[in-house]
A = this chain, B = another copy of it.
């Protein structure tokens, strides 16, 4: 919305009618002989002015774009605010997002299934159910944000609209990550009848049947698939949408990319460190707690649902090798442990009392642990060569993380000696940098992760609109390769970022 400019006539009218400031004493110290007529006149002028100004101030709806150039008052073009010859705005106004009112089986129904699989009782109104906490609960935060009335979310970078005709983008709030773990960790045979795969198929069928999906082949849709395995069966049918993902570990280049999609942080699971900067209370040099063997865990989780790619095995092997190299160093704490409340408490303690926190690749390049490290002010040591990081256009991770190339990190003694050399002052710099960015990893912060995700999504709109217009006029071609536009990195890479 533009700040309203006074129209020439209004400005002229008020500057001539409004009293100069030296008339003020007239009222506070009014001579008793003034004629009633004069007062009436003055009061009337003020009254009209007051009424005008009152309505202008408190009810000023945005003016329709005043457009002196007939070329630009265009029904043809979606000009995103570039509507005036005098006053072009380089960027569009806030992007308008419509959230689908999905059938409950894709949202609250999944919470219910998750609860039932854990011995919960059916409830009369499933929309009263609480979404269970886990590292991919970002889908809940985004859903909750858009479920609020627009009047409650004025600070958001996107506007929620309830009429799909007004929307720039369409959000699909399926709980795809929760669906994946409805039966996770249940003993064999005890699984409920729930099938994540059926949910995926039904969702894809429902979505691709929607009028607004078909209109632009899904390009203007936004789908959350936070868990690297979420929606794996149907991603080919919905890949033209902007995917909100943790990484691209399980996506082919034509399914997901930094250009089309948005990398979102995990929802961190351990408590924020509230103490001072420094290393006084951080007696451990390097801390890690997590699964030593990834493949086994993944197999259990997915119940051999689909082919596990080579990355998992590599990630698993590397973790095991790192354990072997590091577990006997005296100032390093490296522990095998799976997700549990007790282990989370231990991890929290460990991260709050360590200078560095190890972040190896897991079953995919990303992991929740990175965001735990940041809120713990424990300098992340990232040993994950293919990792993609959230919000990297505004966050320079080198300012608070140490990146180490994997094969180098596996050289005995290398990591320890590298980290021991980092001076305290440098660690404090890293910690300060982490404190500056930590709100970006906080889904509950009023200007935290949720807002930043919407801002990132908004930035995709020009490319989305380009693809929509271009796709509709592309003619049939016999191409030997997919028709892709790419952004390629030319650089050769570092060994470690402490160089």
| A interface list, Cβ under 8 A from B | 1-4, 6, 11, 14, 18-19, 24, 27-28, 30, 32, 34, 36, 39-40, 42-44, 46-47, 49-54, 56-58, 60, 62, 69, 71-72, 74-80, 82, 84-92, 94-95, 155-158, 217, 239-240, 253-254, 257-260, 385-386, 388-389, 392-399, 401, 403-406, 433, 435-439, 446-447, 451-452, 454-456, 458-459, 462-463, 465-467, 469-477, 482-497
Given A77-B437, A95-B90, A477-B385 contact (CB < 8 Å): yes
Distance between Cα atoms of A372 and B239 in the complex (Å): 38
Q: Which of B58, B254, B396, B473 contacts A469 (CB 8 A)?
A: B396
A485 touches B483 (CB 8 A): no
Q: A82-B455, A254-B486, A396-B469 are known contacts; what are 15 more A-B pairs with Cβ within 8 Å?
A: A3-B4, A14-B58, A18-B50, A46-B50, A50-B53, A53-B54, A86-B446, A87-B155, A88-B157, A90-B454, A463-B487, A483-B488, A484-B488, A484-B489, A486-B487
Interface residue from B50, B156, B465, B495 paired with A475 (Cβ < 8 Å) = B495
7 contacts between A and B (CB under 8 A): A24-B47, A46-B49, A69-B439, A71-B437, A258-B470, A388-B470, A485-B487
Q: Which residues of B contact A19 (CB under 8 A)?
A: 47
If the complex has contacts A1-B3, A155-B85, are A77 and B436 also in contact, measured as CB distance less than 8 A? yes
- Are A487 and B259 neighbours in the complex by a CB distance under 8 Å? yes
Lowest 10 A-B CB distances belong to which pairs?
A53-B53, A90-B157, A476-B493, A91-B91, A405-B475, A484-B488, A258-B485, A257-B485, A393-B466, A486-B486
- Known contacts: A62-B3, A446-B85. The answer to whether A459 contacts B458 by CB under 8 A is no
Q: Is the CB of B30 within 8 A of A36?
A: yes
B491:A77 contact, CB within 8 angstroms: no
Which B residues are in CB contact (< 8 Å) with A458? 90-91
Q: How far is the CB of A456 from chain B (nearest CB, A)?
A: 8
Q: Which residues of B contact A217 (CB under 8 A)?
A: 490-491
Q: Using known A-B contacts A459-B462, A473-B497, determine if residue A394 contacts B77 with beta carbons closer than 8 Å.
A: yes
Nearest residue in B to A452 (C-beta to C-beta)? Answer: B82
Interface hub of A19, A50, A462 (most chain B Cβ within 10 A)? A50
> Judging by beta carbons under 8 Å apart, are B465 and A494 in contact?
no
Contact of A491 among B71, B404, B471 (CB under 8 A): B471
Let me know if A260 and B18 touch, CB within 8 A: no
Shortest CB-to-CB span from A87 to chain B, Å, is 6
Residues of chain B within 8 A (CB-CB) of A11 are: 58
Chain B residue numbers with a CB within 8 Å of A80 are: 394
Q: A474 to B257: give the CA distance in the assembly, Å.
A: 16
A325 to B389, alpha carbons, bound, how many Å?
Answer: 56
Distance in Å: Cβ of A397 to nearest Cβ of chain B: 6
